Amino acid sequence: METFLYKAKSSVNGKKISGELQAENELAVREMLMKKNLDPLSISKKSTFNADLSEVGIFKQKIKLTDINFFCKQFASMIQAGISIGKGLNICAQQCSNKTLKKHLEHIHSQVTEGKTLSEATREENIFPDILVSMIECGEASGNLDKVLQQTVDHFDNQLGVTKKVKKALAYPTIVLVIVAVVVVILMVKVIPNFMGLLTETGAEIPIPTQIVIAVSNFCIAKWPILIGIVVVLVVIGFNIKKIPSCRRALDRLSLKLPIFGDLNKKSISAVFASTMSMLVESGIPMLQAIEITKKVIGNAVADEELDLAIISLKQGQSLYDSLSGSIIYPPIMYSMINIGEETGALDDMLIKISVYFKEEVDIAVDNMTLLIEPALTIFMAVIVGGIMLAVMLPTFAAANAMM
C-alpha cells in the first residue's frame, strides 16, 4: 500500500477538497474517490522527499491536550447543532491549526466516510487519549454522542485547569532560580576576576571566605567547557530519566514525599482520579475498564501500582472502597465518600462531589505553596548573592580599617 495525495471536487455541492489516501495504485485511488461522489482533479504519489517538514523528525508538530480539547469543543458544538459526523470532522480538519492533528483528522474523516464508526477510526489513529476513545464508543452505543463529547470537554477543561494552576505556581520560583544562576555566573566570571586583580595590587590580606569564592571563580573560568558539558548531560538525563521504569517509579514516589509538593501531588491525583472515574462510571463504562483508563490519565507510577492492585481486588469481588483501602496516595475522606456512594447506589454522584472537593483542595494547596515559596526564594536569593558580594567586599573593609 502506498500513500497518494489528491485534490477532488464534490459532485454533490461542487466543493473542492484535498487529502491523502492509501491504495495499491492511482487507479484504486480514483475508484475510491468516485465512490465518495468526488471527481478527481489531481492524484500524485506522496514522496518522502517532498514531505512536509511538520511531519518529519524534530520538526513534527506535537499534539497537545489543549489541541485535542479544542477539537472536542468544536466537534461537540457541531454535533449538538445537528451537523453530521463526517461533515463535522471535515470542518474541524480544515480549521485545525496543528498540522499533525489536521492530517490525522483528515484520515479519520476518510475512514468514517468509508463506513467505519468514529470510535473505530479514532482508535486506529492512536493519537487520542483512551478516555476520549472510550467515551466516543459509549456515546455511539447510547446515541448521546453530543452529551458525551461535552462531558469529555468539561473533564479536559478541569484537567487543564489544575495543570495550569500548578504551572503558574511554579513559574515564579523557576524565574527566580534562573535569575540567581545568571547573577552568580556573572559574579564568578566577570566581577570576581577583576576584583582579584585589584586585591593583588593592594597586597591586602585575603579572608578565607574570599579565598573560597576566588577558588570557585578560577575553577569556573578554567573548567567552563566541562561545566557546560555537565549541564547538558544533566538536562538530557532530566528529559529522558522517566523513560526508565525504575527511575520513573523512584521519582514518582519521591514526588509524593516531598514537603509541600508531596501533599499537592496527592490531592491533584485524587482530583483527577475522582473526576475521570465519575465521568466514565456515569457514562456506563464498566468499573474495571474505567480504572484502566483512569490509570493512564493519572500517569503516576505509584498510583498505577495501587490501581493495578485495586483491579485485582475488584476481580475477586471486593468493592471499590475495599480495593483502594491502604493506599498511600488517596486520603481516608475519599474512602469514606466512596463507601457511602457504593452503599447508596450513587457512586457516580459521590465521585463528582469528591472531584469538586479535591479540586478546591488543590487550589488552596497551590495558593498556600505560593505564599510559602515566594518569601523563601527571596531569602535564598539574598543569601546566595549577598554572601558572594560580602566575600568580595571583606578585603576592602579590612584594607580600609588597616589604613585608618
Report, as an integer, the average pLDDT of 201-212.
73
Q: Which residue has the cell 518569601?
A: 375
The CATH class of 64-155 is: mainly alpha
pLDDT digits (tens, 9 = 90+) for 32-52: 888 878 888 888 876 544 444
Q: Does CATH number 2.102.10.10 belong to domain 166-404?
A: no
Cβ atoms of 320 and 314 within 8 Å: the answer is yes
pLDDT over 60 (residue 58): no
- The Cα–Cα gap between 36 and 256 comes to 54
The single-letter code of the amino acid at 393 is: M
Where along the chain do its domains lie?
2-51, 64-155, 166-404
Residues 252 and 261: beta-carbon distance below 8 Å:
no
User: Of 205 and 254, which is predicted with more confidence?
Assistant: 254
Q: What is the pLDDT of residue 61?
A: 64
Position 59 scores a pLDDT of 45
Same fold, 64-155 and 166-404: yes
**Dist. CA 251–CA 254, nearest whole Å:** 5
Q: How far is CA 258 from CA 217, 248, 390, in A?
A: 33, 15, 32
| pLDDT recorded at residue 56 | 46
In the CATH scheme, what is the code of domain 2-51?
3.10.20
Encode pLDDT of 226-247 as tens digits: 888 998 998 888 888 877 888 8
